[in-house]
Homo-oligomer: A and B are copies of this chain.
Amino acid sequence: MSYELTPRTEAGVKFVAAAESVVEPLRARADEADRAGTMNRQNFTDMLAVGVTTAFLPEALGGFGLTSIHDWMAGMTRLGRGDGSAAITMNMHLAVSRGLVIGYQRALASGNKPVASGIEAQLRQIASGEMYICATATEPGTDNLHPFTEATRTDDGWEINGLKIFVTGSPIATHLAMNLRMPGAADDGGDLIGSVMLPLDTPGIEPQDDWDAMGMRASGSQAVKFNNVKVPAPMVRPMGPWGVWSTAVLMNRNVANMPLLGVFLGIAEHAHELALTAASKQAKKGKPRNADRPGIQHTMGEMEIALATAQAMLAQTGRYADEFMATHQGDALTLEAGHELLKNHQSMKWVVNRNAIAIVDQAMSVAGGGAFMAGHPLSRLYRDVRAGPFMQPYSPTEAREYIGKIALGIYPED
């Protein structure tokens, strides 16, 4: 697979190697977890053991010191080759842990010791496996710029009420990070979007155990209710005005979700592998090897083109994102720049998802009728890979309009 993503940084090399080392164990457990519709805890023990879980942590705290978005994506492709459900769960944990590390480094840089040591304690919990984070920004009937889950002030903190859905990983996570609405919290009395990370055993948090989907069945993406959940004041942090794009919200959307596409590419890479294996067999008694049939060759050629396309697009976006992060700090990070990144992210998402779905479909055709059986890995991949277009942001019904508008210089703020 000549276009496959290869790491660009030292830390990335370690991360990708770690991810590769768990592909086989993840695969071995995937069918059972899918059938049962439950998360497999051993996957996460394994990923902790090899360093996947702690990839963003500084080396001093036991991590790889990963910083490259491109290499994060590269690692996600490997996890996706193992098990899509486990991989998307891990992606959310990595996104939040990356944010913690950035906060930690800022606190260190600015000499804010109390904050630094507070975060350091969390990072050590991640390193030990005591902290495993899930995250969500999804609620029924709204988008993630308009969360309806609310944090209202109490005397000594906040009280949270609401409902989040698609809380991937929540059955085994210890902590949950999410966005919410802070009514009247702005200086001008308007509402803010805030974020919070809180232990999942906080009283009032009620997981719904309702995840029963067509695919990604082992991702534990249940709903979680918040029923008068009380949290101390500093835990809820404002991000920007509610219902309005801010650079913080924009970058959050971009960075946490872009590497998810690596998972869907990884699923396609797995399917491609299965197709190559199937093609090398003799298809029918007394007939030539599948690989020697022109129809199989043409289909494999098309699959190769689709795979190369998705890989090139993801890799190029990763490089672009790395460069973007390096050059868009502080004032350089305008809303226009953020939308440019999101537009490119969405073009990539479109291309990766379309091609990944097509590749799994083509692999099924190459593998033949057996691939339609519930016990065949391709039938699971076919169901899993369709989750891609549902990932936030945007739906296929929204993406082209958003991309087109940004390309035409029409911004949602205007």
Contact surface of A with B, Cβ cutoff 8 Å:
2-3, 138, 141-143, 146, 148, 165-166, 212-215, 276, 279-280, 283-286, 291-305, 308-309, 311-313, 315-317, 320, 340, 343-344, 347-348, 350-351, 357, 361-362, 364-366, 368-369, 372-375, 379, 382-383, 386-387, 389-390, 395-405, 407-410
| Complex interface: chain B residues within 8 A of A302 (CB) | 400, 404
Cα A351 to Cα B410 with chains together (Å): 29
| Complex interface: chain B residues within 8 A of A165 (CB) | 369
Contact B365 A212 (CB under 8 A): no
Contact partner of A397 among B365, B374, B383, CB < 8 A? B365
Output the residue of A296, A297, A301, A389 with the most chain B CB within 10 A.
A301
Contact partner of A407 among B146, B301, B400, CB < 8 A? B301
Contact partner of A296 among B3, B383, B399, B404, CB < 8 A? B404
Contact B351 A308 (CB under 8 A): yes
Contact A213 B407 (CB under 8 A): no
Contact B284 A320 (CB under 8 A): no
Contact A297 B408 (CB under 8 A): yes
- Chain A contact residues: over half helix, strand or loop, or mixed? helix
Contact partner of A404 among B299, B308, B340, B350, CB < 8 A? B299
Question: A277 to nearest B CB, angstroms?
Answer: 11
Contact B285 A148 (CB under 8 A): yes
Contact A304 B3 (CB under 8 A): no
Contact A401 B351 (CB under 8 A): no
Cα A365 to Cα B299 with chains together (Å): 19
Known interface pairs A372-B213, A389-B365; A276-B320 also in contact (CB < 8 Å) = no
5 A-B pairs closest in CB distance: A301-B404, A294-B294, A301-B400, A297-B404, A312-B316
6 A-B pairs within 8 Å (CB atoms) are namely A2-B320, A276-B408, A293-B398, A296-B397, A297-B400, A297-B410
Cα A409 to Cα B285 with chains together (Å): 22
Contact B316 A403 (CB under 8 A): no
Known interface pairs A214-B374, A386-B382, A397-B296; A343-B402 also in contact (CB < 8 Å) = no
| Complex interface: chain B residues within 8 A of A361 (CB) | 357, 386
Contact B312 A141 (CB under 8 A): no
Known interface pairs A372-B214, A396-B365; A308-B313 also in contact (CB < 8 Å) = yes
Of chain B, the residue at the smallest CB distance from A357 is B361
Contact A301 B212 (CB under 8 A): no
| Complex interface: chain B residues within 8 A of A283 (CB) | 141
Question: A164 to nearest B CB, angstroms?
Answer: 13
Contact partner of A291 among B340, B357, B399, B410, CB < 8 A? B410
| Complex interface: chain B residues within 8 A of A373 (CB) | 212-214
| Complex interface: chain B residues within 8 A of A407 (CB) | 276, 300-301, 303-304
